[in-house]
Every structure is written in structure tokens, then in C-alpha cells.
Structure 1
Amino acid sequence: MTHKTALKHLIFKIISQSAEELQLDCYVIGGFVRDYLLERGDAKDIDVVAVGSGIELAQQVSKNIETNPKVQIFKTYGTAMLRYDDIEVEFVGARKESYRENSRNPVVENGTLQDDQNRRDFTINALALSLNKANFGELLDPFNGIADLDKGIIRTPLDPDITYSDDPLRMMRAIRFATQLNFKIEEQSLKAIADNKDRIKIITKERIVTEINKILDSQKPSIGFLLLEKTGLLDYILPELIALKGIDEVEGQRHKDNFYHTLEVVDNICETTDNLWLRWAALLHDIGKAPTKKFSKKVGWTFHGHEFVGSKMVYKLFKRLKMPLNDKMKFVQKMVLMSSRPIVLATEVTDSAVRRLVFDAGDNVEDLMTLCEADITTKNPKKFKKYHNNFKLVRDKIVEVEERDKVRNFQPPVSGEEIMKTFNLKPSKEIGIIKEAIKEAILEGEIPNEHEAAYQLMLDKGKKLGLSIKDI
């Protein structure tokens, strides 16, 4: 038994004792029970439902723990939470709920355990374990949640049409659980999601993004995005991806379906990185292809400038979804903007091109290479091997150039202050011209990234600009 498992056994005994002292029944319910039965991970969150006051039970439990952990009370929701070691235990009174059409926030009243299980989103989340002395550890499974766990099925306890209409966030949760657990959504439930898809409009963007992030954080996000597309939810959430669907054909020339290609890239990148924002970059790397798609008789289908257009679209998308407009967004923009650079470079790996790549990507060059390798979705084994070998050459050249020329996070060997001092200048355009000339010469390999060579170039460039060296 692990330390954490032992702690859980101990906290359950304390909760049981506390409930008996208050003469009320209580149960562990929801995600902890589901994951415990699936032997999935080591949950840090425990939900306890009391047939009575959850707040009073939390306070009694705190009294019965030697350290008397602080009880956080949320009166609006009738819940309380305490921390036991690194485990969070939330207490709530059993309740029944009713909904209004324009809100997912229910009208709540006290209820029985059965009422509480009825209001749960899925049968696998309605499972409860008794913490009562008389039947401690007994499983209460009114909706055959165990059978659904065994079969890998997501199903609502009550009519799915009502369940999803009442709280449309449950549609996202159904798809998220199907993705995380690799479960199937039961047919009637899947149809109800499609029928109620427009109800997603009453859900806040922040809540939707939380679920999208959890889908992206899973092992195979394509499961979730295919379900979002199938049910019509993706049209409301990420229409930029829907725009990538389909294959056009002109004069016998076709392009690949960029929607399905994108999902392959996302699955690929999930095998090599846990970085959520790099996964977002994979999801959005081709969104500029829909607005830039053109057909030319000479070259066929083109998507000129899709990386630039896509990077601009990232900002609008983040803003619309109320996502953070900070460094994380800028990172995704940068990855989308540069997503084709290593691909072009892989055909001819020159020192100067690699220097420019490292200069522009900076500390994100490794992430960029990871994205580009994930972008290889060809089913032709020879091409697959060739493309990966080409990227290996690029990676090797990056290491070689970086060790020799040190252009990552480039700082000019000659500063603006030194240029001003040398030529007795005040801030002016000439300083920018000289600095740019030094940078270009280093990136092109014309001079080494060293002060002496850069200083000499500064003098030569200054002379051409008609500048006089200050007398020292």
C-alpha cells in the first residue's frame, strides 16, 4: 500500500467516525470512485456527499484530525473543503436540482443520496461508496455504472436529451471523458449531443476552453476532436478547423484534407511532448490554409503565406475564446508562423539558413523541430524515412552552428552605445543600419560572431555612411 493510499484509508475512517458522531449518512462519490475502480492514477481529489450538512461534516472531520486543517466554506454552493496532506476533500450535502432554459446554474434543494446520484452527469460518475459504519465500503450503483465501466461506455443516468439541455457543458465533458478513457459515447447520448449542440452557446468560453485543454492533454486528442466535429459542436467552438475540411479537385489535381491531417499532427506531437501550448500550436498550425487556398494551372493547389495568415488568426481565436493573450499565445503564434521553415530548410541544409532559423526561433527551436517532425503524416514508408532523416540533418546542423556561432538569443558583439561613442552620434537611423549590417554579416557567415570582426565591420560601414570616427 502506497503512502497516499494509506492516507486515503485513514481519512475515510475519520470521515466515517465524524458522520456517526453527527448521526448522518455519507458517501464517497464521483471521479474518485470511477478512477479507483479503473485503477487509474492516484487521485488527489475526493468528493464526499452527506445526507445532511456537508459543511458541518467537514468541520467535524477537521476536529477529529490532529492538525485541525482549515475548512474552506463556500456558502453559495453549500460546500466545504479541507486539505489532508496533499489530498483535497470536498464535502457537499446531498441535493436535487432543477434547471432554467437560459442557464446551466441549477436551482438546488436538499435531497437524498438517490436525488444526488440522479443529478450526476454520467453513470460512471454516479457510483458511490458508503462510508457509514453499518455498510462501510459498500458500492451503490443505481444506473449500472460498473457495467458501463467494464464495457467502456459513456451514458447519462437519466434522459440524455434533458441531461445535456439542462447543463450543456456535460456535452463537452462526455467527449472529454470519451477521449481520456478511450470510451465510446452511447448512441442515444451521442445523438442527444448533436440535437442540443446549439445549447453550447450558454456556456462560458472559459469553461469550454478548460475541456478543450483536457482533450488536448490526453494521449490521443483526435478522438475528442472527431466527436466534436461529428456532433457539430466544433462549428461553434473552432470553426477555423472546420474550414480545413474537405478535398477540392480541379483538372484532376487534388490537395489533402487539412482537417484530418491536423488531427494526425496533434496525435503525433502528443507522443513526444506534454507541452499543452505546443499541442495547441499543432492544432492550429494549418488554420491559415483555408483563407489562402488557390489553384494555379502551372503549380496546382497553393497555400502561399498560410503561416503568416495563420499566426494572425491565432490572436483572434485566443481573444474570441477568452484565452490568455500573453506569452503562451505569442508562443503559439510564433510556432504557427515558423512551422514551414525547417521543412523548407530540410531540402538544403546550409549554415546561413540554419543560423537564421536558430536566430529567429531562439529558445523555441527545439519545440519548432518537434512540431515539424509531428507534421510528417505521409503513409509512404520511404518518404517517411527520408523526411525524418532530413530533419535529423537539420538538428545536427543546429547543434554544430550553435556551438560555433552562438546565434541563439543573439546579442550583437558591438552595442548601440559603442557605435554612438565611436562616431560621436546621438540616437539615429545610422546606428540601426550598422547594427543590421553586423547581424546580417554574422548570419550569412561573412564574419564570425566576435567583437573584433564586428568592430571592423562597424568602422567600414560607418565610413560608407560618411561618419567620422570620434577623436579619443
Structure 2
Amino acid sequence: MENYKEALDHKIFNIISLAAEELDVESYVIGGFVRDHLLQRGDPKDIDVVAVGSGIELAKKVSELLSHKPKVQVFKNYGTAMLRAFDMEIEFVGARKESYSEDSRNPVVENGTLQDDQNRRDFTINALALSLNKNNFGELLDPFNGLEDLKSQIIRTPLDPDVTYSDDPLRMLRAIRFAAQLGFRIEKESLKAIRENKDRIKIISKERIVDELNKIMLSEKPSVGFALLHKTKLLKLILPELTALEGIDEIEGQRHKDNFWHTLEVVDNISENTDDLWLRWAALLHDIGKAPTKKFHKKIGWTFHGHEFVGAKMVYKLFKRLRLPLNEKMKFVQKMVLMSSRPIAIVDDNTTDSAVRRLVFDAGDNIEDLMTLCEADITTKNPKRFDRYHNNFKIVRQKIKEVEERDHIRNFQPPVSGEEIMETFGLTPCREVGMIKDAIKEAILEGDIPNEYDAAHNFMLKKGQKLGLQPVK
């Protein structure tokens, strides 16, 4: 048996070992901590401990032995407990065996041995355990050759994959997520079982599904995970708006690009420049309006008119269905989808300053995010086109910078407030106040007047007079 005492040099493991000895139970650290130590993946923040006995009692004993006596959170329904110590979350569970019913991923649980507990683990690389017992402290218990699978970079289930994924369909998403995060491949029989059990994903809550999707989205190369979701037919069940983009149609020799695979490239591109989850979601959804707006015209070929507007509306429906947050995060994604084609429209030398001002005004603080998305949208394999498109966006950035420095448009509020308009003309809140305020804003954006108080005040007086209003003396 191999020994990894060096993995357990933190004093928390000695305290858990001592607590287990006082209770006369066996204890083991299992799962992600062991896996990530063997892969040399950073400092652990989560530790899972299995007790061959009561995990809850072990947690309480550990808390007693710690100087700061951390609070123990007990989850009786699951037979687990958790405490925080040394900036880590430590979860304790009693070794158990599980059995499942067809309509639920929540198992019937019985007390079991360490081997029973390892049998119920999702993957061989997560079934690895290190002993915390005095007589063999640090010894690796690896009944399914998980160490070999780590070295070979393989995702494999400890038991029959068909049973494993049918019992708990969330494991299908976890397999794909680990493949994406670790750069591992899913073993052939396991991949086949995911495909055959894909419909079982319907019993999983939307919140659990989204949690795994977000982890895939935040991986270094999200396309790995989404390509696997597509290959196993899970993606069509979760995000049909995406899979609807797949395929290339040809009429009279005119074709369009495959917008599904293009989208995955865009997500990978943007992931090289941002860790912002919601900007990555915007990249994933930026073209979803193209499937319902696709049309062929003999004179001009394939068009996707208004796909940004349609796509932005689809974002709301998609977020609502998946129970993603319907707050400012969703509004941000909608805004990015809606504006995703705007910057390229101002590349032209004939573009007016007012068009640039409107872009900056509409994008507000998100202008940099929008530019990052637009640059990620360049997926051409033609080097000359690639350079030309990137140079075009350099031109756009320069125009934005010049207009910003001169006109201070980003998130600007008209220099004359609604309150001042009412006071000037002796008005209460009414339609005319809004008309004057909007007219001032439009005049500034069009460049008819500078973004300054005196100019705006004079414009207000003239606009008021046109509406038949007189200043109060």
C-alpha cells in the first residue's frame, strides 16, 4: 500500500485522527482532497471525511478539540455534519451504502463499511481515500485503481456505469464537468452509458444542472464540456436553443456557417480574456436568435435580420426555465446579446460621432465587456481576415476613446434635471417634462449642443417655448 503522509501534514488531520480514536471509530479523508493532492491542484478549501460510525458525532468531537470550538452544522436527513476551521470547510459523513428508486436521485441510505462508501462514489478518481487511523495514517486505499486512472487521465465509474448514471443522473453532468476542468477523457463505456441514460436528467433540479453548467462555463476551455454535452445528447435536453444553431444549409450554392460550433469557439475565445461568468454566458447565447430568424433571399443569400433583438428576448425565457437569476445578471446578458453587433457598425470611415456617442451611452459601463465579446466573435481561420477584423475593432476603440474624452457620454445624466425643468416652467410631473428632458439628451447625443449646463439650459428654454411654455418669473 502506498503512503501519502505528506498530504496530511496540516494539523486538522491530526485532530480528526485523535477525535476518531477517542470515539473508537475509523476515519478517512476521501474524494476531492485526495484527488487534487495527487494532481497537485492548489490549496484545498473543502475536505470530506468518512467515519465508519457516526459522522455527526465525529464532527462534534473535532469541534471540542479545536481551540475556537467552531459551530457544527448538522444535516440529520443526510447523516452529515460540517464545520469550518483554518479557512476550510470540513464535511463529515458516516460510511454508508445506498439504494435508489427510479424517480429520484435521493437514495435510501444504510450504515456501511468504507468499501460500501467507496462503491457509492461517482468516479474512481473520487473514491480514493487516505487513512486517518493511527495504525496506518496516510495509507492510500484505492479499490478501483483510481490512481491509475488519474495517471491515465480517465473518468471512469467504480461500478457499472449504466447503474451509476441511472441511479443518480447528476453524475452524467459531473463526469462531463470533470472532463472539462481536468482535461480528462470519459472512458468509452461510461460515455455510452451517459448517452443511453440522457433522459434521466429530467429528474434533476434545474438548480443542480445550472451549478454544473456554470462550472463547465468557468473551466479553462468550456467548449470541451459543451461538446461532450452535445455528443451525449444532453445539451438538446438542457439548452435546445443552442443545438438549434447546428448545421449548414445550402441553397443555390450559398451557405452559411455552422453557428453552433462557431459559438463554442467564441466562448473559448472570450474565456482567454475574462473569468466573468455572465460575460461567458453572453458569449454562449449571443447568436441564439439566429435559428428563428434565418431566411434565404435569392438576391442577398442567407440573412438573420433582428437576431440580436430576438436573442435578447430568448435570454429571459431561457433564464426563467433554467432558474438562472432574473436580476441584473440576466439583464447584463440580455444587453450584451442585444448590442453584440453594434460596435462593428461604426468601423466605417463615414460613421458620425453621434453614432459613437449613442453606442457609448447605450453600453454605459459595459462598453469594455461589449468590445471583449465582439473581439471574441472573430473566429475566421483566414489570417488576413482575422487581422483585418481585429484592426477594425482597434479603430472602434480609438473612436470610442476620442468621443469619451471630448464629450464624457458614458452614463451621463442630462445637465438639466427634471426638477429644474418643472421649477423653470412652473410644472408638476407631466408629459412635457419628459419631452424636454429627452430632447436635451438627444441634442447632446447628436452633437447639436455640448454636454454642458449652459448649453443645455438654453436649449431647455427654446424647447419649452416651442411647446407653448413660458418660464416662471
Normalised by the size of structure 2, how large is the TM-score? 0.97
Q: 2:462 aligns with which of 453, 456, 460?
A: 460
Q: Deviations over 1:51-83 (max 9, x none)?
A: 111111111111222222221111111111111
Distance in structure 1 (CA, Å) of the matches to 2:380 and 2:62:
58
Structure 1 residues 285-364: aligned runs within 5 Å:
285-348=286-349, 349-364=351-366
Aligned-partner SS, 2:74: strand
Offset at residue 347 of structure 1 (A): 3.2
Q: 1:423 aligns with which of 415, 422, 425?
A: 425
Aligned-partner SS, 2:296: strand
Structure 1 residues 66-465: aligned runs within 5 Å:
66-348=67-349, 349-465=351-467
Offset at residue 324 of structure 1 (A): 1.0
Aligned-partner SS, 2:334: helix
One-letter amino acid matched to 1:359: F
The answer (yes or no) to whether the contact 2:8–2:138 under 8 Å persists in 1 is no
Aligned-partner SS, 1:449: coil
Offset at residue 45 of structure 1 (A): 0.3
Q: Deviations over 1:20-67 (max 9, x none)?
A: 111111100001100010001211000000111111111111122222
Higher mean displacement: 153-162 or 15-24: 15-24
The answer (yes or no) to whether the contact 2:125–2:149 under 8 Å persists in 1 is yes
Q: Percent identity between the aligned chains?
A: 78
Q: Deviations over 1:6-29 (max 9, x none)?
A: 996201111111111111111000
Aligned-partner SS, 2:91: strand
Q: Deviations over 1:156-193 (max 9, x none)?
A: 00000000000000000000000000100000000000
Distance in structure 1 (CA, Å) of the matches to 2:430 and 2:54:
72
The answer (yes or no) to whether the contact 2:130–2:139 under 8 Å persists in 1 is yes
Aligned-partner SS, 1:269: helix
Offset at residue 432 of structure 1 (A): 2.2
Which runs of 5 or more residues in structure 2 are unaligned? 1-5
Distance in structure 2 (CA, Å) of the matches to 1:184 and 1:351:
51
Aligned-partner SS, 1:47: strand
Distance in structure 1 (CA, Å) of the matches to 2:113 and 2:466:
88
Higher mean displacement: 14-23 or 301-310: 14-23
One-letter amino acid matched to 2:257: K
Higher mean displacement: 383-392 or 28-37: 383-392
Aligned-partner SS, 1:409: coil
Structure 1 residue runs of 4 or more that deviate by more than 3 Å after TM superposition? 5-8, 347-350
The answer (yes or no) to whether the contact 2:316–2:334 under 8 Å persists in 1 is yes
Aligned-partner SS, 1:91: strand
Distance in structure 2 (CA, Å) of the matches to 1:15 and 1:79:
15
Offset at residue 418 of structure 1 (A): 1.9
Which runs of 5 or more residues in structure 1 are unaligned? none
Distance in structure 1 (CA, Å) of the matches to 2:157 and 2:89:
26
The answer (yes or no) to whether the contact 2:7–2:37 under 8 Å persists in 1 is no
One-letter amino acid matched to 2:121: R
Offset at residue 350 of structure 1 (A): 3.5
Distance in structure 2 (CA, Å) of the matches to 1:397 and 1:274:
27
Paired residues, number:
467
Aligned-partner SS, 2:67: coil
Distance in structure 1 (CA, Å) of the matches to 2:430 and 2:8:
67
Q: Deviations over 1:80-135 (max 9, x none)?
A: 11111201111111000000000000000000000000000000000000111111
One-letter amino acid matched to 2:311: G
Aligned-partner SS, 1:274: coil
Q: Deviations over 1:130-155 (max 9, x none)?
A: 11111110101100101110111000
Aligned-partner SS, 1:49: strand
Q: Deviations over 1:277-304 (max 9, x none)?
A: 0000000000000000001111110000
Match of 2:3 in 1: none
Higher mean displacement: 228-237 or 409-418: 409-418
Distance in structure 2 (CA, Å) of the matches to 1:299 and 1:80:
64
Offset at residue 342 of structure 1 (A): 0.6
Higher mean displacement: 283-292 or 379-388: 379-388
Distance in structure 1 (CA, Å) of the matches to 2:193 and 2:7:
42
Offset at residue 422 of structure 1 (A): 2.2
Distance in structure 2 (CA, Å) of the matches to 1:29 and 1:108:
19
One-letter amino acid matched to 2:94: G
The answer (yes or no) to whether the contact 2:344–2:396 under 8 Å persists in 1 is no
One-letter amino acid matched to 2:253: G
Match of 2:63 in 1: 62
The answer (yes or no) to whether the contact 2:128–2:146 under 8 Å persists in 1 is yes
CA RMSD, aligned part only?
Answer: 1.3
Distance in structure 2 (CA, Å) of the matches to 1:130 and 1:149:
19
One-letter amino acid matched to 2:398: D
Instruction: Summarize the Cα distance change of 1:7–1:429 in structure 2 as closer, same or farther, 3 Å threshold.
Output: farther
Distance in structure 1 (CA, Å) of the matches to 2:396 and 2:324:
34
Higher mean displacement: 11-20 or 26-35: 11-20
Aligned-partner SS, 2:283: helix
Instruction: Summarize the Cα distance change of 1:6–1:110 in structure 2 as closer, same or farther, 3 Å threshold.
Output: closer
Aligned-partner SS, 2:28: strand
One-letter amino acid matched to 2:159: L
Distance in structure 2 (CA, Å) of the matches to 1:226 and 1:423:
62
Higher mean displacement: 67-76 or 214-223: 67-76
Match of 1:469 in 2: 471
Distance in structure 2 (CA, Å) of the matches to 1:11 and 1:418:
65
